[in-house]
Structure 1
Amino acid sequence: MQREQENRKVLKIGLTVAVLMVGFGFALVPLYDIICDITGLNGKTGVLAAQDVRETAVDHTVVVQFDGTVNSDLPWSFRPKQFSMEVVPGKLYHTEYIAKNISTDDVTGQAVPSVAPNEASIYFSKTECFCFTEQLLASGEEKNMPVTFIVSADIPKDIDVLTLSYTFFNKNRMTTAEKQQAGNANHEKI
């Protein structure tokens, strides 16, 4: 009888710990997003609507470099149309990337963006981006993928170069961590 009570107690404790661990795991996602938004970690960028852009007088420029890669599971080629652009902070700019499906099958990809250096990410906002949604390319299809962005006029003058980088993943073969990161990118509209 005593052993049965001890077993029930251990079972209750074990179940309670398991439920708390699962709950903690789910609580980490919004906590991670909040920390990334505050610190600019993980290349998270701000969100800005095109109508919210204000022209401001700025006496310096910033070089924005563009980079594009694909995960090895994605049979695409992907690259920026231009590799860098000199921008005036506070003004809206537009660029494009080119993606091509080089396989014999239709493939859905998801882009995960990042900005480097990390401290510059809070000054970089996209108003339009292909990374906001999944991209389906038919076999052999090539597509121009637009990005409209602004570098905040508040960017410190010591940050004179930043890099906007995208990695495309095969949506059907993404790991749980990659899906989480892509979901955060879609949720954040970065």
Structure 2
Amino acid sequence: MMATLPPSPFDSARRNRRTLLMTVVVGLAMLALGFASVPLYRIFCEQTGFGGTTRRASADVQVKEATGHILSIRFDSNVQPGMPWKFHPEHPTQSVTVGARNMAIFVAKNMSDKPVTGTASFNVTPTQAGAFFAKIECFCFTQQTLKPGEEVRMPVLYYIDPKILSDPDNKDTQEITLSYTFYPVEQDRKPS
């Protein structure tokens, strides 16, 4: 019969070091994932249209029009409470051919007596249509600064991807709403 030896203190120390090392690696991996989650989520939403996020398209993209397939596009505009802008679409709806390039104009006016910088967030409803709503140019890609009383016309160039016609989740889609909300951007204040 063979006698079992008591565990060596060296074996226990080695296991403790290995456990500590694995815990640190897992902790660092979770920290890295936490920092990467926001940009990864944004990329995921842009690619899939998840949550009504639209796609960004290149200006030189060539899309074949789906003649005879018309959708109604409704435009919605909002400003965050306390933002001193008036903001609205020039035309609240458009009837568009699927695949054709279109342009919508939004008008913003600074109603305050000081310059105000804003940025727009956007979404599309129904949310499953977001993956097929492609923006070529949009004021939402950059911050907008308006001087006191200044009014600007801001274009959105877009098209509806013809793939929407073969998507089972969008087979009954007749109207798509593109909604924008402007938020103030806090400017870096220089000390007086």
| Structure 1 counterpart of 2:42 | 33
TM-score (norm 1): 0.76
Task: Specify which of 63, 70, 73 is matched with residue 61 of structure 1.
Answer: 70
Contact 1:79 1:99 in 2 (8 A): yes
| Structure 1 counterpart of 2:5 | none
Amino acid at match of 1:36: C
Amino acid at match of 1:61: I
Cα 1:101–1:18 change in 2 (3 A) is farther
- 1:161 equivalenced with 2:170 (yes/no): no
Contact 1:44 1:121 in 2 (8 A): yes
Cα 1:72–1:98 change in 2 (3 A) is same
| Structure 1 counterpart of 2:146 | 137
RMSD of equivalent CA atoms: 2.3
Query: How many aligned residue pairs are there?
Result: 162
Contact 2:137 2:157 in 1 (8 A): yes
| Structure 2 counterpart of 1:81 | 90
Structure 1: segments with no counterpart, 5+ residues: 1-8, 174-190
C-alpha distance in 2 between matches for 1:141 and 1:38: 35
Cα 1:19–1:154 change in 2 (3 A) is closer
| Structure 1 counterpart of 2:123 | 114
Cα 1:167–1:52 change in 2 (3 A) is same
Contact 2:56 2:134 in 1 (8 A): yes
Higher Rg of the two aligned structures? 2
Contact 1:102 1:139 in 2 (8 A): yes
Identity of aligned residues (%): 39
| Structure 2 counterpart of 1:176 | none
Amino acid at match of 2:101: L
Alpha-carbon deviations, 1:142-187, whole Å to 9, x = none? Answer: 11011111011121342110001100000118xxxxxxxxxxxxxx
Contact 1:58 1:153 in 2 (8 A): no
Amino acid at match of 2:164: I
Amino acid at match of 2:87: F
Task: Specify which of 162, 167, 171 is matched with residue 185 of structure 2.
Answer: 171
Structure 2: segments with no counterpart, 5+ residues: 1-16, 166-170, 188-192
| Structure 2 counterpart of 1:4 | none
C-alpha distance in 2 between matches for 1:37 and 1:146: 20
Cα 1:84–1:134 change in 2 (3 A) is same
C-alpha distance in 2 between matches for 1:24 and 1:49: 30
